[in-house]
Amino acid sequence: MRVIIQPDGDTIAALVAESIVDLVNEKPNAVLGFATGSSPLGIYRELIKAYREGRVSFKDAWGFQLDEYVGLPADHPELYRNVINRDIESQVDFAEGRVHAPNGNSEDLQSAGDEYDAMIADAGGVDFQILGIGTDGHIAFNEPGSSFTQGTHVETLTPQTREDNARFFGGDISRVPTHCLTQGLGTIMEARKVALVATGEGKAEAIAELIEGPVSARWPATILQHHPDATVLIDEAAASKLEMQDFYRFAWENRLPWQTV
C-alpha cells in the first residue's frame, strides 16, 4: 500500500486526476470506478478541466458507480446516479450508456447486484477505482462487519453513516435511506488499481486503522492492505494519527519513477 501525504485536497485531487488522464490516454476504453460524497469532488473538477483543455477524452471509456441508495425516486437530487451525472458524466464526453449504477429501485435487489457485477466483468473489469472512506472505516457502503469476499449486495446503513450523510438531505437524518445497493469488498478488490482519498481530522482514526491497524471486519477498508496496487492519499489532518507519517513522506519524496498514484 502506497501512502501519500499532501498539504491539501486540491493537491491530492490533481495527483489522482493526472493518473486517470494518463490511463485513459493510454487505454481509451478504460473502466473507471466512481465514488460519491465530498472526497472525490476535486478529482472530478480536475478531470473536467483536463477534458475542456483537450488533454483527454472519455468517449470510449466506461464508468461504474460504487453504490446507490435503495428507494429514492429517479428524480431525487441525491440519487447517486444523478449525483455522478451532475458531478462528472454530463461535464465530459462519455458516450450514452457508458456510465452505470446499481439499480436501487429494482424489485429484486440481490439479482440486481449480481447483474451489476456481471456488467462490470463484461466491460473488462475496473481499471481505476476511486474510493473515499467513512468515519467508521466503510468503503462504498460496506459497513463494519461486512464480508471481505461479497459481491454487490444490499446493505443496511449504520446510524453513524446516516448521520454523516444527513448533510446532503438538509441535515434531516430521517430523510436518509436506511438501505443501499453497494459493490461488495470482493468486487472492489478486483479493481486493478485503487486510489482512496481522505481529508480532514474526522477521517484520522479510520485512516490510522486502514494503514497501520490489523485487517479486521470492524474497519472494512483494512482489506485494502491485501490489494496489490492500492494508494491512500491524505492531507495532514487525516494523517495526524499515523505513527509512521514521517516515513511515508520520506518514501514518497524518494519514490522511483514508476511509483505513481
- The whole-number pLDDT of residue 45 equals 98
Question: How many Å apart are CA 104 and CA 230, to the nearest integer?
Answer: 28
Q: What is the mean pLDDT of the chain?
A: 97
Nearest to 259 by CA among 15, 89, 10, 12: 15
- The whole-number pLDDT of residue 47 equals 98
Question: How many Å apart are CA 18 and CA 24, to the nearest integer?
Answer: 10
- How many domains is the chain partitioned into structurally? 1
Q: Is residue 110 part of a domain?
A: yes
Question: Which member of 46, 67, 117, 235 is catalytic?
Answer: 67
Question: Which member of 117, 138, 164, 209 is catalytic?
Answer: 138
The secondary structure of residue 1, as a DSSP letter, is -
Question: Which member of 136, 155, 164, 209 is catalytic?
Answer: 136
Q: Is residue 260 part of a domain?
A: no
Question: Which member of 89, 117, 127, 143 is catalytic?
Answer: 143
List the domain range (segments joined by +) for residue 96.
2-253
The three grid cell numbers given for residue 185, joined into one nine-digit string: 469488498
Span 7-38, pLDDT tens digits: 999 999 999 999 999 999 999 999 999 999 89
DSSP collapsed to 3 states, 180-203: EEECCHHHHHCCCEEEEEECCHHH
Question: How many Å apart are CA 153 and CA 58, to the nearest integer?
Answer: 28
Q: Is residue 106 part of a domain?
A: yes
Q: Is residue 66 part of a domain?
A: yes
Q: Is residue 190 part of a domain?
A: yes
Span 157-188, pLDDT tens digits: 999 999 999 999 999 999 999 999 999 999 99
Known catalytic membership, residue 67: yes
Instruction: Write down the pTM of the prediction.
Output: 0.96
Q: Is residue 261 part of a domain?
A: no
CATH number for the domain that contains residue 198:
3.40.50.1360
Question: How many Å apart are CA 168 and CA 258, to the nearest integer?
Answer: 39
Known catalytic membership, residue 143: yes
Per residue of the chain (261 residues), give pLDDT as tens.
Answer: 999 999 999 999 999 999 999 999 999 999 999 999 899 999 999 999 999 999 999 999 999 999 999 999 999 999 999 999 999 999 999 999 999 999 999 999 999 999 999 999 999 999 999 999 999 999 999 999 999 999 999 999 999 999 999 999 999 999 999 999 999 999 999 999 999 999 999 999 999 999 999 999 999 999 999 999 999 999 999 999 999 999 999 999 999 998 899
- The whole-number pLDDT of residue 9 equals 97
Q: Are the C-beta atoms of 34 and 17 separated by less than 8 Å?
A: no
Q: Is residue 113 part of a domain?
A: yes
- The whole-number pLDDT of residue 21 equals 98
Q: Is residue 71 part of a domain?
A: yes
At residue 133's C-alpha, the angle toward residues 109 and 129, to 5°, is: 70
